A = this chain, B = another copy of it.
Amino acid sequence: MQKIALIGAGRIGRIHASNVAAHPELQLAYVIDPIADAAKSVAESFGARTADLDGALGDPSVTGVIVASSTDTHLAFSLKAAEASKAIFCEKPIDLDLERAEGAACKFEVLRAKLLLAFNRRFDPNFATLKRKLDAGDVGKLETLHITSHDPSPPPAGYIPVSGGLFKDMAIHDFDMARWMLGEEPSEVFAAGACLVDPEIGRLGDIDTAKTILRTPSGKLCVISNSRRSGYGYDQRIEAFGSGGALRAGNVVESTVEAWTESGAQADQFQNFFLDRYAHAYRLEIAHFADMLVRGAAPKIGYADGVAALALATAAQASASNGAPVAL
């Protein structure tokens, strides 16, 4: 059993704690959170102890650390874990500041840190199946890509100022998906943003709606659609257009039940948000972390992926501000 320390006992921390506890090769040893009650509650639920960071990192039997604390601590805590020679599972984004993230890369390299950057959607069975079929050439050579990524409803306004903005907070997932599917680094970004959902978001200097076009050196084009509020649940879809056809991954419904009435066939609701839609993905990314710890697997998503997605988000933000494409 590999012992795991969890930093961050919030909503996503609790998900990881539960998946660690249920995994046959992992054991949740420590929970670290400045809010003592939160740490205690998660620790008790899953048979772990609360600790402070140094205590947990000082325990030589701990082999893995999950960084699920607030975004501004991701980089520092990951680095501390790396210095303690622990494998790291770090929530996205790696940081909100591109320069700082790029600057830290070298330290992780020197430490030969084993870091999994937790872009959970790569583990979603639907997107993973699409990627597998794409790689298998089922629709020929990829030409263009459409990513739709709309949240059911916006976060509380108080979150906006610390979020990093739509692109770094929300679209960063889509930039990672785009990079993964395109198999090539985008060389140009154009983003058109708007504040259509909630004027308060605009007053806070952010946007809530965006359409972004990425272009790669070989000419592939990718469109990303983001909205903070769909009005119909969590909308997470990808369409990949190839030289021999197209692949689509659609939304996930609560059940296969349809009601047929005079209004037509009514399907069941879409799974409403990420905790439901990506429940299986969260289990699979913890399983991959176990593979890293137990069988020495290389992380499927590394520090460099976190930086590259952040670079795209940063460029998109600049494009939306300036109203012009940005070269990368």
Contact = CB atoms under 8 A, between A and B. Distances in A.
B244 A260 contact: no
A267 interface: yes
Interface in A256-272: 256-270
B249 A261 contact: no
A215 interface: yes
Interface in A79-127: 125-126
A250 B196 CA distance: 26
A271 to B, nearest CB: 11
A7 to B, nearest CB: 23
Interface residues of A, number: 71
A268 B232 contact: no
A204 interface: no
A195 B261 CA distance: 21
Interface stretch (A140-148, A177-185, A296-304, A305-313): A140-148
Contact of A194 (B130, B194, B215): B215
A235 B239 CA distance: 13
B260 A264 contact: no
A22 B19 CA distance: 11
Contact of A138 (B143, B211, B259): B259
B248 A221 contact: no
A282 to B, nearest CB: 15
A58 interface: no
A252 interface: yes
A251 B257 contact: no
A94 to B, nearest CB: 28
Nearest to A18: B24
B221 A223 contact: no
Contact of A211 (B196, B223, B259, B323): B223
B211 A231 contact: no
Contacts of A194: 143, 215, 219-221
Contact of A243 (B126, B231, B259, B325): B231
A218 to B, nearest CB: 9
B254 A129 contact: yes
18 contacts: A125-B255, A146-B146, A194-B215, A194-B220, A194-B221, A223-B223, A231-B244, A231-B261, A247-B257, A247-B258, A248-B260, A250-B256, A251-B256, A252-B256, A264-B270, A265-B270, A267-B267, A324-B325
Interface of A: 22, 125-126, 129-130, 133, 138-140, 143-144, 146, 148, 150, 188, 190, 192, 194-197, 209-211, 213, 215, 219-221, 223, 225, 227, 229-233, 235, 241-270, 323-325
